[in-house]
Amino acid sequence: MRFPVRLSPPATAAAATAGAVLAAVALRRYLRTRSSMATSAHRRGSAGGITLVVSGKSTEDQHHLAAAGGALVLGEGDYVEDITVSLDSGAGAGFDAGAYMAALRASRFGRWMLWSPRLASTHDLVTQNFAKLPVGVVCVADVQFKGRGRSKNVWESPPGCLMFSFTSQMEDARKLPLMQIMDIFLSLTIFVGLSELDVKIKWPNDLYLKGLKVGGILCTSSYQPKVYNICTGIGLNVDNEEPTTCLNAALKEMNANLPTLKREDILASFFNKFEVLFEIFTNEGFQALEEQYYNSWLHSGQKVVVQDGPEAQHADSVVTIQGLTPAGYLYAIGEDGKSYELHPDGNRVSAKEDGNVVLHEYIHR
């Protein structure tokens, strides 16, 4: 930035004094401007801002998304990130958009992609900019340091994970509560054909392998006239063995000759299957997919202890999980024949006993 005032050499002492005063005032204004710029930069978010690389199934898709990218925001109030948008150059750094788009057969979902090497939350980006982006867009990050989970949990996702969020819409409010249930089931279909990876669903939104979590889902929605806007965020631990395990480590342990899973292939496989099953879900409801879901979860016939009342004087009741209620909660029957509806409540579960709501801990036997 140029110094804002340039003074000619003074001809007299008075002129010299006046020139010194003007220079001091100009310098003070210059420093105040610089300070204001520094404060503004601090308030606008992380140093360097956010880089988003735009890709599309076609050139038209790519340019359509790039046009929308200039209006994107992330953050609120004084803390808004600076966002730089560029077209994918095919250089192959980070996520390989070319390989992903080549494997993608879906026509509605995943054909527009935003990729960032480092992002606070893919879910926040698509949620805050839903109206500015085409429905079906996906946002992918290599590193995510403020990922969203249930009950306001925050997750850090290092390199080696597949983190992505995408958008969809639904008109039928009755199906909305089961959307997350369907999404976690669809994530599991990625592993169809890989019998070596016995990945299972842990209700309501986790994927488990050998008793260890390898993935999770968050599904949120908002309403506008006649339609619900849905944002789904998914995280899968593909290559990072810390702190527990990852998909490729488990795959190698079971069969060293199998090729490793790649994030690009996993994402394309997800959308290829999601598009077909989303159509079935929209037209026929979850009942059409329910049997496949139960074959893939951990809870059929599982005994659960619910503890009624304060910890010091609670009474244990044993219930057996039967399946899901129409609203997507756990349906269980007690030893006394009573029906229970178990709800997630942060890291606890609440139980509705024959219509009466009582808070319980849940313990797996």
Q: How much helix, strand and coil, in percent to the nearest 5, is found in the chain?
A: 35, 35, 35
Query: What's the CA gap between 165 and 140, in Å, rounded?
Result: 7
The pLDDT averaged over each successive group of 10 residues in the chain (365 residues) is 35 44 42 36 52 94 91 82 84 84 96 94 94 96 70 63 95 88 82 74 90 90 93 92 86 88 94 93 91 90 77 74 91 90 64 42 36
> Would you state the pLDDT for residue 319?
92
> Would you state the pLDDT for residue 39?
34
Distance of CA 164 to the CA centre of its chain: 5
Query: What's the CA gap between 303 and 300, in Å, rounded?
Result: 9
Q: Which of 135, 137, 136, 132 is nearest to 115 (CA)?
A: 137
Burial tier of 225 (Cβ tally within 10 Å: 0-12, 13-18, 19+): exposed
Q: Token pair for residue 256?
A: 């060293």
The angle, 0 to 180 degrees and rounded to 10, between the axes of the packed helices 179-188 and 263-284 is 140
> Would you state the pLDDT for residue 356?
38
SS3 at position 182: helix
> pTM, whole model, 2 decimals?
0.79
> Would you state the pLDDT for residue 9?
38
> Would you state the pLDDT for residue 365?
31
How many Cβ atoms from other residues are within 10 Å of residue 235's Cβ?
27
> Would you state the pLDDT for residue 6?
33
Kindly provide the residue ranges of all beta strands, DSSP E only, lying in the chain, ordered along the sequence: 50-56, 75-76, 79-80, 83-87, 112-119, 138-148, 154-157, 161-170, 200-202, 206-209, 212-224, 227-237, 303-308, 315-324, 330-334, 339-345, 348-353, 356-360, 362-364
- Dihedral Cα 184, 216, 113, 51, nearest 10 deg: 170
